[in-house]
Amino acid sequence: MAGKNEMSVVVLGGGVLGVSSALQLAKRGAKVTLVTEAELCSGASGRSLSWLNSAGERSTAYHALRMAGIDRYRTLFAADPTRDWLRFDGGICWSANDVAGTRARHSYEKAHGYDSHLVSANTVAQADEQVNPGVMADEAIFNPGEGWVSLPHLVEHLVGELRALGAEIVEQAGKASVISEQGRACGVRSDKGELRADAVLVACGPWTPQVVAPLGVTIPDGSPVSMLVITEPSEQRLKTVLNTPRAAVRPNPGKRYALDHDWYENDIKLQSDGSYQINESVVAQLAQEASKLLRGDATLIPHSWKLGLKPIPGDGEPVLGELQSVPGCFVAFTHSGATLALIAAELLADEIITGEKHPMLASFRAERFG
């Protein structure tokens, strides 16, 4: 294997995990080539709600990793608090007529030190005065430490640093595969030809299980179809991220909002060319549901929407690190790509460069699937 300042790595995937990992590798002196099927941020990263959080119930290891991920975003935020694409103004969530469930979630969060507060229609204005109290459940949870990021803006920021370090970026490479010889990953083959390298990182979002399958590695895939809607500019100035029974809403640069949910999953139809479509009436209905959440008479109007698979491993937990059966091949496949993007990139880059496995990734190896 090449030395620290000579190691070559090909990163497959132009989303936030791939770009962030490529940057961390370049910062550690590796010769990095980033290869993406289409354009940068054209996949799942371009249609993510990208809510930065560790709310609700999850494993202790997963919670710790997400909290470290939020910490890295706080560092980025502190470097320039004026950025309009990264904010920490909290999150508010509620369920339909489930006070017991809300209180149980609140107690669970408090039990491991997550900043969690119960709010009602009478007190929600203290968290965000733009929330319409008339549509709230009897109780909601306010998590003041949460935030959001616009991943296309973050990717643009990271790519600027990546290019400055001399990394090569190959877009429109088409479907790519990992080259292995004598059981070890040694490069990537795509429509743009072959690239040889000392290591390969597969960060292809929902396509990651398909990319590693020819290597004899099975990663269960639970990726559903999803949609993200960006609205026209609005004068409503919601600060928090809202997660409610019929709509999830977060601010977006340009006085816009990003909207998503899962109730319309079955309305998203796969086309013969591999793309997805949805009736515009469903998009309008989501915007109507989101409009109800805001105080006043504002109507959110859809400007654009993107459809595709949302990357989720079969058991919901991230898959991160080197494949034991294919040395030199690393994977990054997770539902929480936004929250984990910066921290996962650091840990993976360290593993790739040093060969030393990081303890925070111990429970997220692909080998847990057998």
Domains observed in the chain: 8-46+152-219+315-369 (3.50.50.60), 87-147+223-309 (3.30.9.10)
Helix (H, G, I), strand (E, B) or coil at 169: strand
Which pLDDT score is estimated for 2? Answer: 41
Kind and range of the H or E run holding 282: helix 280-292
Rounded distance, CA 246 to CA 260, Å? 9
Q: Which amino acid is at 265?
A: E
Q: Point out which residues pair with 189 in neighbouring strands.
A: 177, 194
In degrees and rounded to multiples of 5, residue 227 shows phi and psi of -140, 140
Q: Point out which residues pair with 12 in neighbouring strands.
A: 35, 202
Q: What is the pTM of this model?
A: 0.96
In degrees and rounded to multiples of 5, residue 7 shows phi and psi of -65, 135
**Segments of the chain scoring below 50 in pLDDT:** 1-4
Give the strand pairing for 329-333 and 199-202. Answer: parallel
Give the strand pairing for 256-260 and 117-119. Answer: unpaired
Which pLDDT score is estimated for 229? Answer: 98
58: exposed, middle or buried (C-beta count within 10 Å: 0-12, 13-18, 19+)? middle
